[in-house]
Structure 1
Amino acid sequence: MRTISNCVEDILISQPFLEEALSRNIINFSALAVELTKPISLMLKKEVKPGAIMMALRRYHPPVALSNSVKMQRMLKDLGDITLRSNLTDFTVKNSNTLIHNHTKVLEKIGDESQLFYTFTRGIHESNMIISSSLKDDMATHLKQENVLAVQDSLSAITINLPQNNSKVAGLYYHFFKRLAWEGVVLYEVISTTNEFTILVEDEYVDKAFTAIKRLKQ
């Protein structure tokens, strides 16, 4: 049987910003309890009083990963270099039996040009190729026989070097996404390797995204 505490937990988990504000004691418990009275009454199919909800809110303990734990703060402080690459183009292509062959032609074109930016991500139904815009025409030529779903110009990539053992810390990526969401940054693409995390944004969001990520180290 569901309880008021169960309902409070479900609502807070579905709204992480609200959950964090609650954990930092920067939200009015009484006002929030009144706000949650109607949805929780509907969830339980009976009338619930704000006082009971407020008690459940005060007893709620968020996951450790969402709090300012010493381990998380150390991990954020140890973030490595932040690299910005601009003038990028993203190709979204439907997967096919010939895509890998045409992809090989792209790699041959890039060769040893270390100054170029290039990534390839293969999903279940489609793949993404992100490349320096100077090679946009070459990429289009090699993909002319493929089903190109979308092409987006005027993109920039921000790459963060992550500390060793970052995969052992729960909630690290949450802090990136939370900060970017608070700043109103719309993510076009997210790419990650074991020790690197890259976001792709349209040029209009570059300054806000770079500043938001830099502040995480502080």
Structure 2
Amino acid sequence: MITIPQVVEKIVSTQPFLAEALVEGLINVSSLARKIQNQVEDTVKKPVKIGAIIMALNRLAPNLEVKINPGLKDVITNVGDIIVRSNLVDFTYKNSNTLIEKHTELLRSIGPNQEFFYTMVQGVFESNLVVSGSLQQKVEEAFTGEELVAKSEKLSSVTLKLPATNSQQLGFYYFILKNIAWAGINIEEVVSTTNEFTLVVNDSDIDKTFSVLKNMGNN
């Protein structure tokens, strides 16, 4: 039969935000106990007193620190090169029947030039392009007739080369974005592939962003 401490651990361990707040003492344990009381009772199928949940939470916090931090720290420590690009422009276009065709034609006209920064993400209703400033005129000409939803200039990007284990580590992206948010940095765009993670920010924030990402393993 599952016990109250086991249920509490399962609830907390599957929620990185909650687990971190509990470990760092940033959460009111009594309030948390009341919040998860119904979940605990539904699982153990009997009434459970708040005091029993509070006791389980207090006993759990030190164990969570041991279980959560090493795995996440190991992945963060093994983040590879950090690549910075500046003078970027961000375009967002409404999706259409001709957008992909124009995108393909634009790529052909650019050719395999590795000095350019060019990313495109197609969403359900709109597509986003972040490109080097030197390509701005080419993009605008290529997408003539398409509906421009938004455009931002004076942007920079920081790209992290990720270890292969990043996709298996719970809370990995949360850890990165938490540090960026705590530093007061506004993210313009996020571009992610299996082993790369790119943040696009305002030029004025690029130095701070690089510093935060470079020192993540020391947190």
CA–CA distance in structure 1, aligned partners of residues 60 and 143 of structure 2? 53
Alignment of 1:207-218 (within 5 A): 207-218=207-218
- In the alignment, what sits opposite 1:84? 84
- Specify every segment of 5 or more residues in structure 2 that has no aligned partner in the other structure, as ranges: 38-48
Aligned to 1:127: 127
3-state SS of paired residue (2:164): coil
Cα shift readout 1:8-29 (whole Å, capped 9, x = no counterpart): x98998892x6424213x45x7
* Map of 1:203 onto structure 2: 203
Report the counterpart of residue 101 of structure 1 in structure 2: 101
What are the Cα deviations for residues 95-135 of structure 1, in whole angstroms up to 9, with x where unaligned? 00000111122102211221000001111111011110111
Equivalent-residue separation in structure 2 for 1:110 and 1:149 (angstroms): 23
C-alpha distance in 2, partners of 1:152/1:108? 24
- Give the 3 Å change call, closer, same or farther, for CA 167–36 of structure 1 in structure 2: closer
CA shift in 2, pair 1:121/1:58, >3 Å? same
SS at 2:160 equivalent: strand
Query: Within 5 A, what are the aligned runs for 1:127-146?
Result: 127-146=127-146
Q: Which runs of 5+ in 1 are unaligned?
A: 42-48
Q: Secondary structure at the match of 1:91?
A: strand
Corresponding residue for residue 46 of structure 2: none
Q: Which runs of 4+ in 1 moved over 6 A?
A: 9-15, 34-41, 49-53, 62-66
| CA distance in structure 2 between the aligned counterparts of 1:143 and 1:65, rounded to whole angstroms | 52
TM-score of the aligned structures, taking structure 1 as reference length? 0.77
Residue 149 of structure 1 aligns with an amino acid whose one-letter code is: V
Partner of 1:154: 154
Asked if structure 2 preserves the Cα contact closer than 8 Å seen for 1:88 and 1:131, the reply is yes
Summarize the alignment of residues 1-218 of structure 1 with structure 2, pairs less than 5 Å apart. Answer: 16=17, 19-24=19-24, 26-27=25-26, 32-33=28-29, 54-55=54-55, 57-60=57-60, 67-69=68-70, 71-218=71-218
The number of aligned residues is 206
Q: Partners in 2 of 1:102 and 1:187 — Cα distance?
A: 27
Letter in 2 for 1:116: F
8 A Cα contact 2:75 2:165, kept in partner: no
Aligned residue type for 2:210: F
Judge which range, 159-168 or 111-120, deviates more.
159-168
Q: Does structure 2 conserve the Cα–Cα contact (< 8 Å) formed by 1:23 and 1:67? A: no
Find the aligned partners of 1:52 and 1:75 in 2 and give their Cα distance. 35
Q: Partners in 2 of 1:73 and 1:15 — Cα distance?
A: 14
CA gap of 1:64–1:58, structure 2 versus 1, over 3 A, is closer
- Aligned in 2, Cα 1:36/1:22: closer, same or farther, shift over 3 Å? closer
Code of the residue aligned with 1:117 in structure 2: it is F
- Alpha-carbon distance in 1 for matches of 2:107, 2:204: 29
Aligned equivalents of 2:141, 2:72: Cα separation in 1 = 46
Shift of 1:55: 3.6
Amino-acid identity (%): 39
Cα deviation, 1:3-57, whole Å, max 9, x if unaligned, reads xx999x98998892x6424213x45x7xx3577799899xxxxxxx997775464
Match of 1:44 in 2: none
- When normalised by structure 2's length, the TM-score is 0.77
RMSD: 3.4
How far 1:67 moved relative to its partner? 2.6
Equivalent position SS for 1:151? strand
> Distance between the aligned counterparts of 1:11 and 1:67, measured in 2?
11
